[in-house]
Every structure is written in C-alpha cells, then in structure tokens.
Structure 1
Amino acid sequence: MMENSAANLTRRKPKKSKKNWKKPLIITLSILIVLGGLGFIFQKELVRLAFNMFASGTVKEALDKSYKAVGNEEAPVVEHTDPFSILLLGIDQRDNEPSRSDTIIYSVVRPEDNKVLLLSIPRDSYTEIVGRDVKSKINSAYAHGEAKMAIDTVEKLLENKVDFYAAINFHGLKDIVDAVGGVELPIKKNIENKLKIHEKLFVEANKPIYNGEEALAYVRYREDSDFNRTMRHRIFLSAFMNRALEVKNLTKIPDVIKIAGSNFTTNMKSDFIVDFAEALYMKDSIPTISNYMLKGDGKMRSGTWYYDLSEDDLTYVRGMIASWLDPNTTQLIEPDTKDEADTAAETN
C-alpha cells in the first residue's frame, strides 16, 4: 500500500509542474499576440517614424548637393499628390567618349493612384535636336546641351511637358545596388559580350539576387537589339525601385543617396523628394509600373544607323501621356505591351 501511494505521489508531481509552466506560457503568447496586433495596426505610423529618423534629415542634405537647375529655370512647383513627369537619363560615360544619354525614359507619376508610367525612347531615335537646328540621334542632345537640351528635345518630340529630370552616371550604379543588398532580375540565359570591340562582361542566369557589378553588366550589355537593351533598363529600374521601397531598406536610404553623390543631378528640390518618398512608404503597396517603348524601324543614313520612330505610334503615345498627366483622368490609357511581352519571352 505504501509503495503504491509513493508511486502515485511520484506520478502526480509532473502534472502539477506542467500546470504551473502553462500559465506563464499562455500569458507570454497572449502578450505577443497583442503586441503583434498593435504592430500591424500602427505599422504605417512606425514606418513614418523610421523614415523620419533614418532618412529625411541626411537625405535632404545630400540631395541639396545634387540639385542642378535647368539653365536659369527654377523647378516647377508641384504638389507631391499631383501627377508629374520626370525625364530619367542614364549617362554611360566612358573614357574618351562624350556624355551621351544611353538611357532615356519619360516617366509619369500619379501619386494618388500609386501608379508610374515608364516610356522608353530609343537612344538612336532620329529627331530634331532643339537648340542645334539639326536632326540626329536623340542621345546626342545631352552631349551637346546637357539636361536643358535633352528636356527641350523630348518635349518637342512627345508634345508633353517635362516637369523634372534626374540624370545618373552608370559609374554610381554598382555601389548603389550593393547598398540595398542587390536586386532581383529575370535573367533566364547567360549574358555575355563576345565581340572584341565591346568590354568583357558575363552575367550568370537564374540567380536569386544580382549584385551591383552584375546589374551594371545587365544594363550595359550591347550584343542584341536596342529594343531589348532598353527593356532591360526599365526592368532594372523597376527591380531597384521594388528593392529600395522595402521597409528593411529604410535605414540604407542615406547611404544610397551619399553613394550617388556627384553621379546624380536633378532639378527636384530636396523637400519635394523627401515628401514624395515618405508618401510612397506610407502606401499599402509598392507602385504599379506600366512600361512602353516607342516603336519604329532602323535605317542607315550616310553609313550611320538610326531609329525612325513611327508617326502613328507617336500619336498614340502623346495621347497616353496626356491622359496620365491629367489629374481628372478616371480611365487611363494603359500601354499595350503584348509585343514587348512576346519579345521578352523569346530573349530571356
């Protein structure tokens, strides 16, 4: 009898102990659930606080140094909630070469709709270069008259205004990409320059993340069509934007701006950029990006290859831009990207 009692007593002890540790565990889980719920409810407020702590101050100082007016013109006054246009210029200056704009993207931002239109203009497009009274490749405008001539030429071509410009030298791209931990790129086949006249580069396919050097090679690759090269530029821009807008990269924004440094110029005032960036971070999702490239056909003139733009396509694009810039537009003209999707499927 005593042995059975002792055995029963021994068996009951763990039950009592188990009951004791259950209480603090339940309390702890309850606290975590409550804190998690509060974190979700106040997520935007926390993001705003983090942005103001880590980004706005130092970013504003760095952007002030990158400001460069267009001639004697001050930047237009635009509310960061209104649609506005930006001419994005990628300057790929190499040794003993003029500073031509290898990437020319006319973009429209609609902050209220959280939408962005990226319209690529092929660098070899044959058009009037405003200020020189000649017709030539559009990328020569920046080489002869920097941002002002590039803006005037694009406005003449598209018959729509350019509110702002942002020019970045590709020399700064490598470190900027590394600062945000690399980018995701949809590379399905190895990319490699094989011609002797081009710099050697190689990018391995199907990697989850690509570093700055690989991203630079991705946008610089020349040994296919200008159509595909321009499409890669837009793909990279979208990938970098998605990466930079991740909340975990908030603290890296000052480093990104500092790295850009002398490689970046714009006529956007720092207050405008900071307010706009904060508004982006406060959205429930990243911006929806729509892409399009001006269409045309290649043609040789005096031994030089040019890209003749389609007049029908120009008319279509001009109307599309106008609808995006109109704050009262309820039904945007969305770009038809079927041809681009088919080309991407064939080349990736």
Structure 2
Amino acid sequence: MRSDKHIDKQQRVKRLKRLSLILGIIFFLTFGIIAGYFANEVREFLDDVNKDTPEELKDTSEQDASLKDLQPISFLLLGLDAEGEGGATRTDSIMIATVNPKKESTKIISIPRDTLITLPNSNEQEKFNAIYPINGIAGLIDFVEDYLTIPISFYATLNFEGLVDLVDAVGGITVDSPLSFTVQDSDETADAIVIEEGIQEVNGEEALGFARMRKQDPRGDFGRQDRQRKVIEAVIDELLSFNSVTNLTPILNAVRPNLQTNMSGQQILTVASNYTDAAKSIESVELSGAAEYVYFPSYGHDLYVWNPYEESLDEARRTLREHLELDPSSEELPEENGDDEIDN
C-alpha cells in the first residue's frame, strides 16, 4: 500500500515536471516569436530613420567612444513645419539637449526661432529658423556648435505632423497648461482645439495645438517653448512606460515617416539602454533677451526679431559646457569637432 502511494507520488512528480517543461517550452517559444517579431520591426525602423542622413553626417564613429564610456552627449532637436501651402520647411522649434548619464540629468535650451543672426559665409541678417532651409541640417549643426560653443553629438528632426500620431500611439499625454485658449487644428479649422487651464489629458491633435500656440500667450515664444518642453517630457514619460513597450508597433509606425536622425541603429539602442535614467531629471536653461523690429532688405519691410542678452548667452554656454564636462570658461570646441569644421 505504502509502495503504491510512493509510486503514485513519483508519477505525479513526473507529470508535474513534464507539465512544467511543456509550459516552459511554450513560454520561451512564445517569447521568442514576440521578441523576434519586434526585433524585426525595430531593425526596419532603425534602418528607416537614418537612411536620409546627408553624406557628410553619416560617419558617427567618434561618438561611439563617448557612448561606450558613458560620456555626456548632446542632441540638436528640431520640430519642422512647412510655412503655408507648398512653403519651405523651417525649424519651428529649435532645442539643444545635453545628456549626462553619470549625473542622471538632462538640460534643454530652446533657441527662439525669431533670434536675429548673421547667415554663415554672408553678411546677410536672418532669423534662426531660416538657417535650415538655406544651409541644410549640416550647416545648422555647424552654426549651433559655434553659437553655443558646444559639440553636437547627434541630431533628430520631427515633423509636427508626426507629433499627432505619436501622442495618439502612446495613448495620449498629461499636460499642465498655464492658461486657457482655443486654437486651430491641423486642418486649420478655427477654434477646433480647446485647452483648459490646469492639468488635463490631451490627444495628438490637442497636444499639437498646445505646443504650437503663440499669439494668445502673454509670454509669446517663451511661453510656447515651455509648453513644447512639457509635451516632450510627457511623451518621454509615456515612451518609458510599460504600456509603450506593449504598444510598440503603432509607436514605431507613428514615428517612422516623420523622424530623421544621424544615429545608427546600434547607437539608438545603446542610448536607450544606458542613458534613459538621465531623462528622469530635465532642467531648462533659460535665455534672456529683448525683442525689436528690424528692416530686412530681402523682404522689403520690418520684421519682429529677438536678441539674447550677451551675458545670458554666455551663462547658457557655460552651463551647457559644464554639463558636458568641458571647460566652462573656454569657448573652444574639442579637437575632434574642431573649429576648422565650422565655416560660419
């Protein structure tokens, strides 16, 4: 009798082991299929977002050493928008982010698009957002490096049309609006988007309206810059959440046709693996300045422009250089991004 019980117990143990083995095989096969599917999706996505990188910006091998050693890196982030029907694509939003993984912090500075500058290799005055359509992304990177006296590790451009799809793909975002306003939607329907003062959930269209409105904000472009940063931070929070991992396909499909970067697929994965903690602490670097109207011969009339105070610009340069662990008192770029490469 006792022997029969012992045999039954052994058989039950064997059945449990067999069942556990079968379940384990099923789990790993399922996980492997999912991982393989997403790996293929991610590979295709990474191939797409850097395929149109200009030839002179494709070699990012020097940045690999920085990523390997977890050194601070910098990004030029551009929000692109076509001006009017068939108009030239201009940089509606110009941000520079410095990311320091050891300090687990990120600093972002926004350069107002109406900032008065002198075009590279020219004495002609223009606004900052005109550099991209005139000199291209490579020329803009050179100019920003010289303007802020920091090297730019990578760039990324996002068409504003892509913001709508991206926010919708992550299931919407939460923003805290400092004021109430109405604004047109992407189809230019007047007052189609209503933003209330305070904390609220917004979808893609609402997020775009929240980020782009300027004329109703008493702070003008600076108020808009703050709202754009809020949208970026909210999107980052959602992208880092578990829900985004399980919703990867629509996110990749939303970003794919609207994002362009010079980062290689491996570099994107490295940053995603080793630098994400720095996104938990995002600090704004402010620029102070004054607005005026300046006559532009090329346009034949006065235009609104903005000029940063020199002391504020110098302080911003020191702050960014220190965050990148460069000599804050120097205005020289590191040798690998040397001044001989800057022709403005």
Does the alignment reach a TM-score above 0.5?
yes
The counterpart of 1:270, out of the listed 257, 265, 281, is: 265
Give the superposition deviation at 1:286: 5.3
- What's 1:335 paired with? none
Structure 1 contact 106–119 (Cα < 8 Å) conserved: yes
Matched, 1:152 2:142: yes
User: Which ranges in structure 2 are unaligned for 5 or more consecutive residues?
Assistant: 1-31, 296-301, 329-344
Identify if the C-alpha distance between structure 1 residues 217 and 200 changes in structure 2 by more than 3 Å, giving closer, same or farther: same
1:287 matched residue in structure 2:
280
Report the residue type matching 1:219 in the other structure.
Answer: A
- Listed as ranges, the gaps of 5+ residues in structure 1 are 1-48, 330-348
1:232-311 equivalence runs, <5 A: 232-280=227-275, 283=277, 287-302=280-295, 303-311=302-310
Letter in 1 for 2:63: V
1:166 to 148, 156, 163: 156
How far did residue 254 of structure 1 move?
Answer: 3.9
Larger radius of gyration: 1
- Per-residue CA deviations over 1:210-266 (Å, capped at 9, x if unaligned) read 100100111121212011111111111111111111122112234322222221111
Distance (Å, rounded) in 2 between the aligned partners of 1:280 and 1:318: 22
The alpha-carbon distance between structure 1 residues 101 and 199, as it changes in their structure 2 partners (threshold 3 A), is farther
Between stretches 65-74 and 299-308, larger displacement belongs to 65-74
Counterpart CA distance in 2 for 1:151 and 1:199 is 35
- 176-185 or 74-83, which moves further after superposition? 74-83
Q: CA deviation at 1:143?
A: 1.4
- Which structure dedicates a bigger proportion of its chain to strand? 2
**CA separation in 1, counterparts of 2:39 and 2:324?**
27
- Deviation (angstroms), 1:104: 0.3
Q: TM-score, normalised by structure 1?
A: 0.72
Matches within 5 A, 1:174-193: 174-193=164-183
- Return the offset for 1:327: 7.5
User: Which of 90, 100, 106 is the equivalent residue of 1:100?
Assistant: 90
Aligned mates of 1:142, 1:165 — CA distance in 2: 13
Alignment check: 8 A CA contact 1:60 1:274 kept: no
Q: What CA deviation, in whole Å up to 9, does each residue of 1:120-174 have, x standing for no partner?
A: 1000011122255533101001111221121122112111111111001001110
What SS does structure 2 have at the residue aligned with 1:262? coil
How far does the alpha carbon of each residue in 1:183-227 deviate from its partner, in whole angstroms, 9 at most, with x for none? 110025322149xxx862422324631100100111121212011
Aligned residues: 276
- TM-score under structure 2 length normalisation: 0.73
Aligned-residue CA RMSD (Å)? 2.6
Shift of 1:54: 7.3
Distance of 2:252 and 2:237 partners within structure 1: 16
**CA shift in 2, pair 1:51/1:248, >3 Å:** farther
Aligned match of 1:203 in 194, 205, 218? Answer: 194
